[in-house]
Amino acid sequence: MDAFYASVEMRDHPDLKEKAVVVAHDPRKHNGHGVITTANYVARKYGVGSAMPAMRAVEQVPKDQLVFIPPNFEKYRQVSAQVHEIMHEVTDQVESVSLDEAYIDVTQNKLGNYSSIELGNYMQQKIFKTTKLTCSFGVTYNKFLAKMASEYAKPFGKTVILPEEALNFLAKQDIKKFPGVGKKMQETLRSMNINTGEDLQKTSVQTLIDRFKKMGYVLAMHSRGIDLSPVQAERQRKSIGKERTFEPSIFEEQAALTQLRKYSREITEMLKERNLQAGCVVLKVRDTNFYTITRRRMLKKKTQDPRIIYQEARALLEREEDFVTRGIRLLGVSVTDLEQEIYEETNLFSTL
């Protein structure tokens, strides 16, 4: 397989630039982190609390101080669709990871007898021409390496890794570059004196399994350049959820219930768009101390009915009265155990 990973630098788009924060007096520009991170950083620096509530309250923010502009997700989606269109010119084997990243299996392509690198160049150029966005890409023999290679090529380059080069390339990488290695795993690995890909390569597979179970195995394989996972063009969604942070927190049960009703409606809409039925309702609550729980309940029958989702969510919340007393900072509902809705019955009746 010739895998390919493309990462588009969306924040460079002229129409998306305003998405983060416009700060009246702050010379600071995007620092390379995510939108919200940037916004939070500035919010913190200016002591106006966290960014999201501030963005919601954009009208009330004094003009001479900070102006928060909420991200324009519609625009994001629009540009993302353009990018995906270009990718699909090459092949339909596109596994989108997020709005601006995708794995592409270019073992076969629609355009003709071109090398993976030529196909990459083509997409990169076309994306730049049509959207003015730069993107980086990696070309190599599996997904994992392609992602690493693409990261290495940021913001507007390409990295090609041949099979015989993989071990050497990986040996030089810091462990935090490996997907799946976040804050916690990094700490543990460093405490074991494992800091680079080379260290991982020198650690026995068994040692990594003993310490990190499945993730250890995956990490061991990755560090040795092995990843057999296929590019999955059609991945089905496994859950749909809505959540929101409240600033100030909610202390009224009625207010919380109103939110639950709203979530239930929104989730139902998404279920209907995708013709899905939910089999389980999950409630998520966080109090003012940031203590967070989730509570779930399987449904007797899969549903698409907002009233049922609301009822379950409400029942779950009512068992957690203390949260209302202590103040709800975050409230969320999601549904899982999704199943494609069967048409036949409904069609039968709706046509009558």
Partner DNA sequence: GCGGATCAC
Partner DNA sequence: TATGGTGATCCGC
- Binding-site positions for Mg(2+) read 100
One of 294, 325, 340, 347 touching DNA (CB under 7 A): 294
Nearer to DNA, 1 or 280 (CB): 280
Question: Which candidate in 18, 85, 101, 198 is catalytic?
Answer: 101
User: Does 296 help bind DNA (rule: CB under 7 A)?
Assistant: yes
Q: How far apart are CA 143 and CA 88, in angstroms?
A: 18
Chain positions 97 to 126 lying near DNA, rule: CB under 7 A, are 97-101
Amino acid at 168: N
Least spacing, CB of residue 239 vs DNA, in Å: 4
Spatial neighbors of 89 by CB under 8 A, at least 6 apart, are 110, 111, 123, 126
Nearest 5°: phi and psi at 203?
-85, 135
Residue 100 · residue 84 · CB < 8 Å:
no
Cα four-point dihedral sign 143, 149, 150, 156: negative
* Closest distance of CB 280 from DNA, Å: 5
Residues touching DNA, count (CB under 7 A): 52
Find where tokens 């998404």 sit: 270
Binding status of residue 315 toward DNA by CB under 7 A: no
Q: State the residue for tokens 């969604």.
A: 237
CB of 173 to DNA, least distance (A): 13
DSSP string, 332-344: EEEEES-EEPP-H
Among 31, 57, 130, 180, the residue binding DNA under the rule CB under 7 A is 180
Q: Which of 40, 93, 136, 159 binds DNA (CB under 7 A)?
A: 40
What is the footprint of DNA within residues 221-260 (CB under 7 A)?
Answer: 237-245
Q: Is 252 a catalytic residue?
A: no
Closest CA to 140 of 150, 125, 155: 150
Which H or E run includes 329? Answer: strand 328-336
**For residues 258-287, which are near DNA according to CB under 7 A?**
270, 280
205 binds DNA (CB under 7 A): no
Backbone angles phi, psi at 345, to 5 degrees: -55, -50
Q: Which residues bind DNA (CB under 7 A)?
A: 34, 36-37, 40, 43-44, 47, 49-52, 97-101, 147, 178-186, 212-215, 237-245, 270, 280, 290, 292-298, 330, 332, 334
Report, as residue numbers or ranges, the catalytic residues.
Answer: 101
